[in-house]
């Protein structure tokens, strides 16, 4: 029951509520009808009152002036009334408050007036529409707008409000004198605007489109959104706006005055397109969208070294601003094909030390196109200079970049931990570094670049130095701190021939060669004024060489390593190790700066077998060395010219041997020291074996680049074959030889040399130029010289094995001999100029004492190959002893005495006396004086035939005992084919004169075709008839004997003498006697009378 009662009660309540609701609705409808009726009545009353506006012009203008606080004028006005009053005015002018200029002018202004607010003294325009208005907005120097008072509420004036404002084809100019004292005017042409409820404290919706004119440039602008206008008690700039902004071709430079004082860079120019959303006010806002800049010119000299002028910059962004911070939360920028993405927060803008938190990444950037985008001004100077001056190409990408710090930290990154404000990690591809025109490029560089704290780090770097590939890990440590920058690195390079040529480009480029591959490891750490550099260079796979000192083939183990320190005073290389198996060299090097520079080098080698290392040392290889050597040395001199360095050191030889050249026999059993002093290398006294000859020697070499060898040696017995000389027919050995000589190139300078050859003792000094084809200039002095020994020396020739003919010695010498012999003839004080050319020996201007007199002249001896010597001599004999002269021809001694003088020219060929006699050719003029003819069998025979010792007043000489004295003997002797002939041999003596005309075979020593005439010089005491040869003797009218004639023939030792009649002689022979004896002319006219004595 209770439940039913409750339900019944609920139903009654519901019906009562429904009835009450219906009553309320009826009441509201009635009230609305009453209000509408009242409004209609009121509107009719107003319309009737104001239908004729001109009748109320003054009242209306007064009301508008009061509402706007400005003078208002119009040309005509009209009112229409339908649902609401509509006013239309033409030629409307609203003056500025000062009445001097126009604030607004319009061709037509139409507004619809709200009626009810008038009851409250409020003018509310439901719709305000202006056609072709010209609106002038002004902000004065104090920042007050000329419309500011219109937004202020005043109790003593009628409030004017517009619920909707529409502008068609308007023009709005804004002159800002706060930004520029002279005013900056921006004009919106073709302005179309609609704004709803532009009232203080209300949100007004708006839509604006216009053309923006400035500096004769035209852009487009469109805005649509809402403006939440601040209340009357708040500044108008605190109004909030939420709008979209679209713009095309806005002149960015025109608005430079608005932000120039807030930025450090120069005026930006270009055209801006916008498609953004802006929400907020001047104090705080958010914004996002797209900005596109074209023809941008951004000039910021402290940061960028050249203006940035990209073709197009497109940025998508999202940003937020409040009074303290500006946050660009998203930034996506495209600059001529490069994309930069990131964000940026500027915090604490109200302070002088803004906090910057910026992040960025990029797509690959071409250095050639974008190097001017590098912000050098925010990079430490050393790094910035390196980037700007050395990097010339490549593709770079910023993988991570962050700047987090305050302005004070960024400006002083060298202090404290300020360097941590910047972090950059990027990558490089195909990078190009150029250090100068004389340095190969670093090209093809790839790897990671990282700025982290105080370090600039290079990771995984690869590339090429010239054409040499390399890899590198390194960094610039503490680059931005006040302390010096450190440069630790490790590098591996495969040097090429071009890289090595460059390394030694200054003085050694033409001397160094390199081919193949090697591996160079470099590591370093330190400062620019004190740097430690270490190197390990494995050269085993490469072939290299320096001049003719070293030629290493590929595949032979070779390494170079060192530790070095480079400072402002010097470069030190310690732990210097060079290996060219089996050679190992350890040492140190110091290079002192200043002046022309100076190098100090010290090294030492292991003990090595020379034959093992000689194949890679060409200059040593030529000597075919063997045996053990160990060296230590020190050198100093100018860099780049090792041949001029001053050396000191020692090399120890043990059982060494050398072959100085293919001319000489090997030098063996060499034990001793080689010392380096200055530019000299010299040996201790060494007792060695040269071929079969024992030697004691001491050597020296100067001038490494063009060596000069000096040698002092001695030997008790030297075979000339051991020094590269040979005789065509015999072995030649020099005894007790000692010499001092120098060898330069192929020239041998002999300072002094003395030796014994057979009985000859020779002292020589001079020059032997070009040992391959010797040209000798020297002086030869001798206390004793056998000319046959000289001929032996002259016939020496080189033993060089060659396909060409043996070289001939060319000789020029000055000869000075105290004594000696020529063949069997001894001589003294020989002086001569000697020359040997084309195997011909010349004695020019020789002079010596021999055979009791003086001999002078010139000779030529042709030492033809394979033949006998040929002699040619022009000579002069002065007072030679005849007894000694006959020794030349192996003639019996004692035939004739006296002195011999002669002058002539003779030639002969042969090695033996017989050959010389047979080939003797020439003429000699002979004169003998003051001697005796004896042991001449021919004279003995003649005197026996005469037998006139009792008839004549003279005593005929006894040829067997004392001989016949003579005063003078003269003759012209001719030699040919072994025959000596004369036609004028005259013997003058106190007893008689003898004339001989005939021939002597000097080979067989036989006379033939010889006629001798005898002319006694005494009176005949008895009649001619008593003389046994009556009829055979010529006499004169005084019965003096004129002459008698004999024919001689046969061997010189046993001559056959026969008296011959005068008439039996040929006319030519008799003419000779006639001229010599001065026979009377009658003999020629009446021969018989003279002969018969009648």
State how far the alpha carbon of 690 is from the alpha carbons of 673, 741, 745, 758, 1092, in Å: 18, 16, 21, 21, 87
Nearest partner of 1057 among 1007, 1001, 1018, 994, judged by Cα: 1007
pLDDT at 1068: 64
Residues 1021 and 446: their CA atoms lie apart, in Å, by 141
- pLDDT, mean over the chain: 81
DSSP label at residue 32: H
Helix (H, G, I), strand (E, B) or coil at 134: strand
DSSP label at residue 891: P
pLDDT digits (tens, 9 = 90+) for 913-950: 788 888 899 999 999 998 887 766 666 677 666 654 43
pLDDT digits (tens, 9 = 90+) for 636-654: 888 767 667 777 888 898 9
Residues 132 and 170: their CA atoms lie apart, in Å, by 5
What average pLDDT does this structure show over 372-395? 82
Report the Cα 553 to chain-centroid distance in Å: 25
Residues 846 and 785: their CA atoms lie apart, in Å, by 14
Map tokens 């003051």 to a residue. Answer: 930
The mean-pLDDT minimum among 418-427, 1009-1018, 1033-1042 falls in: 1033-1042
For residue 1087, the surrounding DSSP H or E stretch is helix 1087-1092
- Burial of 35-58, coded b for 16+ CB within 10 Å and e otherwise, reads eeeeeeeebeebbeebeebeebee
pLDDT at 1017: 63
Q: What percent of the chain has pLDDT over 70?
A: 81
DSSP label at residue 298: B
Q: Residue 582, preceding bond cis, omega within 30 degrees?
A: yes
Map tokens 């860079």 to a residue. Answer: 265
Mind spelling out the 3-state secondary structure of 972-1022?
A: EEEEECCEEEEEEEEEECCCEEEEEEEEEECCCCEEEEEEEEEEECCCECC
Map tokens 């962004």 to a residue. Answer: 317
Q: What are phi and psi of 345, to 5 degrees?
A: -120, 125
The mean-pLDDT minimum among 250-259, 990-999, 1083-1092 falls in: 1083-1092
Q: HSE (CB half, 13 Å, CA atoms) of 665? A: 18
The mean-pLDDT minimum among 256-260, 857-861, 936-940, 970-974 falls in: 936-940
Between residues 57 and 253, which one has the greater pLDDT? 253
Q: Is the pLDDT of residue 519 over 50?
A: yes
Nearest partner of 365 among 442, 426, 304, judged by Cα: 426
pLDDT at 808: 63
Residues 1001 and 977: their CA atoms lie apart, in Å, by 9
Residues 67 and 674: their CA atoms lie apart, in Å, by 122
pLDDT at 806: 46
How far the first Cα of the chain sits from its last, in Å, is 241
pLDDT at 707: 80
Q: What percent of the chain has pLDDT over 90?
A: 28
For residue 611, the surrounding DSSP H or E stretch is helix 610-613
CB neighbours (10 Å) of residue 3? 7
The domain spans of the chain are: 237-363, 659-867, 881-1092
CB neighbours (10 Å) of residue 28? 9
Tell me the β-bridge partners of 297.
269
Between residues 214 and 110, which one has the greater pLDDT? 110
Between residues 71 and 883, which one has the greater pLDDT? 71
pLDDT at 548: 79
For residue 787, the surrounding DSSP H or E stretch is helix 787-794
Q: Is the pLDDT of residue 978 over 60?
A: yes
What average pLDDT does this structure show over 182-203? 90
Q: Is the pLDDT of residue 1022 over 60?
A: no
Tell me the β-bridge partners of 871.
861, 908
Residues 1000 and 1017: their CA atoms lie apart, in Å, by 28
Between residues 582 and 549, which one has the greater pLDDT? 582
Residues 926 and 974: their CA atoms lie apart, in Å, by 11
CB neighbours (10 Å) of residue 408? 13
474, two tokens:
């390194």
Report the Cα 703 to chain-centroid distance in Å: 24
pLDDT at 954: 43
Between residues 774 and 636, which one has the greater pLDDT? 636
Q: Is the pLDDT of residue 807 over 60?
A: no
pLDDT at 1030: 39
pLDDT digits (tens, 9 = 90+) for 716-725: 998 888 888 8
pLDDT at 510: 64
Q: Could you tell me the sign of the dihedral formed by the alpha carbons of 938, 944, 948, 950, in that order?
A: positive
Between residues 947 and 581, which one has the greater pLDDT? 581
Q: Is the pLDDT of residue 125 over 70?
A: yes
For residue 215, the surrounding DSSP H or E stretch is none
pLDDT at 1082: 45
Q: What are phi and psi of 332, to 5 degrees?
A: -130, 105
State how far the alpha carbon of 1039 is from the alpha carbons of 952, 955, 1019, 1021, 1042, in Å: 12, 19, 8, 9, 9
Map tokens 């003792």 to a residue. Answer: 761
Helix (H, G, I), strand (E, B) or coil at 525: strand
pLDDT at 953: 42
Q: Is the pLDDT of residue 215 over 80?
A: no
By the 8 A CB rule, do 798 and 807 touch? yes
What average pLDDT does this structure show over 833-839? 82
Strands (E) across 412-549 are located at 422-433, 442-452, 455-465, 468-476, 489-493, 512-516, 519-527, 530-538, 542-546
Residues 630 and 655: their CA atoms lie apart, in Å, by 12
Name the pTM for this structure: 0.59
Burial of 885 (0-12, 13-18, 19+ CB in 10 A): buried
pLDDT digits (tens, 9 = 90+) for 142-158: 888 888 777 666 665 55
Residues 500 and 206: their CA atoms lie apart, in Å, by 77
Q: Is the pLDDT of residue 25 over 70?
A: no
What average pLDDT does this structure show over 757-766? 91
Pairing of strands 134-139, 164-176: parallel
Residues 491 and 447: their CA atoms lie apart, in Å, by 13
By the 8 A CB rule, do 728 and 707 touch? no
Q: Is the pLDDT of residue 245 over 90?
A: yes
By the 8 A CB rule, do 810 and 846 touch? no
Q: Is the pLDDT of residue 236 over 80?
A: no
Between residues 864 and 973, which one has the greater pLDDT? 973
């Amino acid at each position: 029951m209770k439940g039913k009662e409750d339900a019944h009660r609920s139903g009654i309540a519901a019906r009562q509520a429904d009835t009450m609701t219906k009553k309320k609705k009826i009441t509201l409808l009635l009230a609305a009808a009453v209000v509408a009726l009242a409004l209609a009545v009121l509107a009719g009353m107003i319309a009737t009152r104001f239908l004729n506006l001109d009748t109320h012009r003054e009242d209306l203008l007064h009301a508008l002036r009061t509402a706007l606080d400005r003078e208002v004028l119009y040309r005509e006005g009209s009112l229409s009334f339908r649902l609401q009053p509509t006013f239309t005015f033409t030629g409307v002018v609203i003056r500025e408050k000062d009445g001097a200029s126009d604030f607004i002018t319009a061709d037509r202004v139409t507004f619809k007036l709200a009626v009810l607010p008038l009851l409250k003294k409020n003018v509310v325009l439901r719709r305000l529409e202006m056609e072709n208005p010209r609106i002038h907005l002004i902000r004065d120097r104090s920042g007050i707008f000329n419309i500011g008072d219109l937004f202020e509420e005043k109790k003593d004036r009628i409030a004017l409000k517009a619920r909707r404002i529409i502008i068609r084809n308007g023009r709005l100019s804004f002159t800002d004198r706060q930004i520029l004292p002279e005013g900056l005017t921006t004009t919106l042409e073709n302005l179309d605007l609609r704004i709803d409820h532009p009232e203080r404290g209300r949100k007004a919706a708006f839509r604006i489109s216009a053309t923006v004119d400035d500096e004769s440039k035209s852009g487009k602008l469109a805005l649509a959104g809402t403006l939440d206008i601040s209340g009357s008690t708040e500044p108008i700039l605190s109004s909030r706006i939420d709008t979209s902004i679209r713009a095309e071709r806005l002149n960015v430079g025109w608005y430079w005055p608005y932000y120039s004082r807030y930025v450090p860079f120069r005026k930006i120019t270009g055209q801006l397109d916008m498609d953004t959303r802006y929400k907020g006010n001047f104090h705080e806002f958010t914004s996002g969208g797209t900005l596109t800049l074209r023809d941008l010119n951004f000039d910021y000299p402290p940061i960028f070294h050249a203006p940035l002028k990209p073709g197009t910059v497109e940025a998508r962004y999202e940003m937020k601003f409040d009074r303290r911070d500006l946050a660009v939360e998203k930034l996506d920028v495209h600059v001529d094909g490069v994309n930069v993405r990131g964000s940026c927060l500027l915090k604490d803008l109200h302070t002088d030390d803004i906090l910057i938190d910026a992040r960025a990444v990029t797509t690959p950037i071409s250095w050639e196109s974008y190097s001017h985008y590098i912000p050098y001004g925010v990079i430490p100077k050393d790094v910035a200079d390196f980037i700007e001056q050395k990097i010339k190409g490549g593709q770079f990408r910023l993988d991570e970049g962050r700047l987090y710090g305050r302005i004070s930290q960024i400006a002083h990154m060298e202090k404290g931990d300020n360097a941590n404000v910047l972090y950059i990690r990027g990558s490089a591809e195909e990078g190009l570094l150029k250090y100068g025109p004389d340095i190969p490029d670093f090209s093809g560089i790839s790897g990671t670049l990282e700025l982290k704290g105080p370090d600039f780090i290079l990771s995984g770097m690869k590339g090429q130095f010239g054409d040499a590939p390399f890899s590198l890990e390194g960094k610039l440590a503490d680059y931005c701190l006040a302390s010096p920058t450190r440069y630790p690195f490790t590098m591996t390079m495969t040097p090429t021939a071009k890289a090595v040529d460059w390394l030694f480009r200054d003085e050694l480029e033409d001397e160094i060669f390199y081919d193949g591959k090697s591996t160079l490891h470099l590591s370093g750490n330190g400062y620019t004024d004190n740097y430690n550099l270490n190197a390990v260079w494995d050269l085993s796979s490469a072939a290299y060489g320096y001049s003719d000192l070293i030629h290493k083939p590929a595949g032979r183990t070779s390494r170079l390593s060192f530790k070095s320190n480079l400072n402002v005073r010097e470069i030190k290389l310690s732990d210097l190790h060079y290996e060219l198996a089996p050679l190992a060299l350890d040492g140190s090097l110091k290079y002192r700066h200043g002046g022309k520079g100076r190098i100090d080098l010290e090294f030492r080698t292991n003990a090595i077998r020379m034959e093992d290392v000689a194949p890679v040392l060409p200059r040593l290889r030529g000597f075919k060395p063997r045996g053990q050597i160990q060296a230590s040395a020190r050198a100093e001199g100018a860099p780049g010219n090792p041949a001029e360095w001053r050396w000191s050191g020692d090399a120890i030889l043990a059982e060494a041997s050398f072959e100085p050249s293919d001319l000489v026999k090997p030098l063996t059993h060499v034990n001793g020291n080689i010392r380096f002093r200055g530019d000299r290398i010299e040996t201790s006294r060494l007792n060695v074996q040269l071929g079969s000859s024992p030697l004691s020697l001491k050597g020296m070499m100067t001038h490494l680049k063009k060596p000069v060898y000096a040698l002092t040696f001695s030997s008790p017995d030297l075979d000339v074959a051991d020094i590269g000389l040979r005789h065509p027919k015999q072995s030649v050995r020099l005894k007790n030889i000692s010499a001092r000589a120098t060898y330069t190139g192929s020239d041998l300078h002999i300072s002094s040399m003395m030796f014994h050859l057979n009985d000859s003792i020779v002292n020589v000094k001079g020059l032997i130029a070009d040992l391959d084809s010797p040209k000798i200039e020297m002086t030869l002095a001798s206390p004793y010289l056998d000319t046959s020994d000289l001929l032996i020396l002259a016939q020496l020739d080189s033993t060089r094995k060659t396909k060409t003919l043996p070289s001939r010695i060319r000789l020029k010498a000055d000869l000075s001999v105290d004594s000696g012999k020529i063949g069997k003839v001894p001589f003294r004080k020989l002086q001569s100029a000697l020359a040997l050319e084309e195997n011909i020996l010349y004695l020019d201007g020789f002079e010596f004492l021999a055979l009791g007199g003086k001999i002078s002249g010139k000779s030529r001896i042709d030492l033809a190959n394979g033949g006998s010597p040929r002699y040619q001599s022009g000579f002069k004999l002065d007072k030679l002893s005849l007894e000694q002269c006959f020794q030349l021809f192996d003639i019996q001694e004692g035939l004739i005495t006296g002195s011999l003088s002669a002058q002539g020219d003779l030639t002969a060929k042969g090695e033996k006396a017989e050959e010389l006699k047979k080939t003797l050719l020439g003429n000699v003029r002979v004169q003998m004086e003051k001697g005796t003819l004896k042991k001449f069998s021919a004279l003995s025979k003649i005197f026996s035939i005469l037998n006139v010792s009792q008839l004549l007043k003279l005593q005929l000489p006894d040829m067997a005992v004392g001989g016949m004295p003579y005063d003078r003997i003269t003759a012209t002797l001719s030699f040919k084919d072994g025959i000596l002939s004369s036609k004028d041999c005259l013997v003058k003596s106190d007893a008689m004169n003898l004339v001989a005309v005939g021939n002597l075979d000097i080979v067989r020593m036989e006379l033939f075709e010889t006629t001798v005439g005898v002319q006694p010089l005494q009176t005949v005491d008895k009649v001619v008839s008593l003389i046994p040869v009556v009829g055979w003797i010529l006499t004169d009218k005084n019965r003096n004997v004129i002459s008698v004639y004999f024919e001689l023939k046969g061997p010189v030792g046993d001559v056959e003498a026969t008296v011959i009649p005068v008439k039996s002689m040929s006319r030519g022979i008799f003419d000779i006697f006639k001229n010599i004896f001065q026979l009377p002319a009658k003999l020629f006219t009446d021969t018989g009378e003279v002969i018969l004595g009648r």
